[in-house]
């Protein structure tokens, strides 16, 4: 057996057996749960503990980020929705109907993130309508983060189960 065959057997280049895919999945969900509506969650915790100027900074950052998010949704929401729906559909069909493992892997990352994007939009609209301040704002951000983490845990579980199934079904070298 030559060097390249040994190397590619050791480092499988398929999506679900590739270590880089799992690292990217972990980074994706870690980042998604850390940045709540674009605001680092540790800022919300510091604002809750220290209050005063920290809370004002948090409220300003949230106001700016939800303004941007709602503006994007209003100006180009229909176009973004159509584009995302098309990409998700193409990934789903090529992955699960035609069996392209790469499409399956990207779909299992992208589809749950669309749910997070919808949750972000819903929470942004709620904050814009209610204009919570102080502790109420932090509680809303905390609840939003919990829902993102639940989506992330379910997504990682489903992806791990599907990835293990693919690895068992296709064997060590994809055949």
End-to-end CA distance of the chain: 18
Give the pLDDT of residue 20.
Answer: 86
Within a domain: residue 46?
Answer: no
**What are 2-59's pLDDT values in tens digits?**
776 666 665 555 778 788 889 999 999 999 999 999 999 998 888 888 888 899 999 9
Taking the C-alpha atoms of residue 175 and residue 124, their distance in angstroms, rounded to an integer, is 47
Within a domain: residue 10?
Answer: no
> Does position 147 have pLDDT exceeding 80, yes or no?
yes
The domain in which residue 90 lies consists of 52-166
Cα separation values, 57 from 20, 44, 65, Å: 36, 10, 12
Domains in the chain: how many in total?
Answer: 1
Taking the C-alpha atoms of residue 151 and residue 154, their distance in angstroms, rounded to an integer, is 5
> Does position 1 have pLDDT exceeding 70, yes or no?
no
Within a domain: residue 66?
Answer: yes
As a whole number, mean pLDDT of residues 74-99 equals 95
Give the pLDDT of residue 172.
Answer: 63
Taking the C-alpha atoms of residue 47 and residue 113, their distance in angstroms, rounded to an integer, is 27
Pick the more confident residue, 122 or 47: 122
Within a domain: residue 135?
Answer: yes
Give the pLDDT of residue 140.
Answer: 95
**Residues 90/32, Cβ–Cβ less than 8 Å:** no
Q: Looking at residue 17, what DSSP letter applies?
A: T
Within a domain: residue 23?
Answer: no
Within a domain: residue 2?
Answer: no
Taking the C-alpha atoms of residue 126 and residue 152, their distance in angstroms, rounded to an integer, is 22
Within a domain: residue 155?
Answer: yes
**Residues 163/16, Cβ–Cβ less than 8 Å:** yes
Distance of CA 161 to the CA centre of its chain: 18
Within a domain: residue 31?
Answer: no
Q: Looking at residue 35, what DSSP letter applies?
A: E
Distance of CA 74 to the CA centre of its chain: 22
> Does position 124 have pLDDT exceeding 70, yes or no?
yes
Where does the pLDDT of residue 104 fall: very low under 50, low under 70, confident under 90, or very high at 90 and above?
very high
């Amino acid at each position: 057996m030559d060097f390249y065959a040994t190397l590619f057997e050791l480092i499988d280049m398929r999506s679900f057996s590739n270590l880089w895919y799992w690292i990217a999945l972990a980074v994706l969900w870690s980042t998604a749960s850390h940045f709540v509506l674009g605001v680092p969650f540790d800022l919300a915790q510091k604002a809750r503990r220290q209050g005063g100027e920290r809370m004002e900074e948090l409220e300003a950052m949230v106001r700016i980020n939800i303004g941007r998010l709602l503006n994007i949704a209003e100006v180009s929401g229909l176009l973004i929705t159509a584009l995302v729906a098309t990409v998700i559909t193409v990934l789903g069909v090529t992955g699960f109907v035609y069996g392209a493992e790469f499409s399956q892997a990207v779909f299992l990352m992208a589809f749950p993130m669309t749910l997070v994007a919808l949750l972000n939009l819903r929470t942004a609209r709620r904050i814009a309508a209610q204009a919570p301040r102080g502790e109420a704002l932090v509680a809303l951000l905390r609840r939003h983060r919990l829902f993102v983490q639940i989506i992330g845990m379910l997504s990682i579980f489903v992806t791990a189960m599907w990835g293990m199934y693919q690895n068992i079904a296709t064997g060590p070298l994809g055949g």
